[in-house]
Amino acid sequence: MKFLLSLESWKLFLIVWLPPIILEIAAFFLSSPLLPPESSLLYGVYIFLGTSIWIWSITVSLYPLLPEKEKFNFKTFKICFILFVAYQSFMRIYSFFEMNSFSTNTDPEAAAEKLAFEVMLQMPFDAISMFMFFWCLLFTARMIRTLETGRNVKMGESITEAILLIMSFIGIWILQPRIRNLLQKDV
């Protein structure tokens, strides 16, 4: 896991973001998609997993560096993060297959009723999943800020880091050098 965090920003960006971008650009310029329209779900899964692995690596690698008196509840983070990633992965795969079956359904009224039922059933789980996601992001952001400042910070003091983690497209460029510095200080 420390391998990802030891990379320079541009290398990590290339690993996480470049393959989907190249495929989309190639599909656009060839005027015929390289992959079916559902392939955008696959790009999303690739970016989602890449970003999730990066956030997991940050937390797992930096947590041991926290002073004993400033340790946060790491078990809760692990449980929430694993449940969030598992749920989101399941929903993305389910959506991929459901999109295929939805396009072949000949009865639009039955398809609309099925979709409405699935959305209503899915909403509470999505809400719980998003809560777990934001809690995990704030946990990681708070840990980064605590290690940088040397004192236990409140959740509100680490909002900038949380936003950069959410927007990993930009956050990789700003947070990765700071994380590398924290890891090098430890060595």
**CA quadruple 160, 60, 147, 175: dihedral sign:** negative
Tell me: the pLDDT tens digits for 10-24?
888 888 888 878 877
Give the pLDDT band of residue 177 (cuts 50, 70, 90): very high
Q: Identify the pLDDT of residue 105.
A: 61
List Cβ neighbours of 51 (8 Å cut-off, separation of 6 or more).
16, 168
CB atoms within 10 A of CB 9: 16
pLDDT(25) > 90: no
- Confidence band, pLDDT 50/70/90 cuts, at residue 140: very high
| pLDDT at site 104 | 63
- Domain ranges in the chain are 2-186
- Residue 186's pLDDT band (cuts 50, 70, 90): low
What pLDDT does residue 54 have? 92
pLDDT at residue number 100: 62
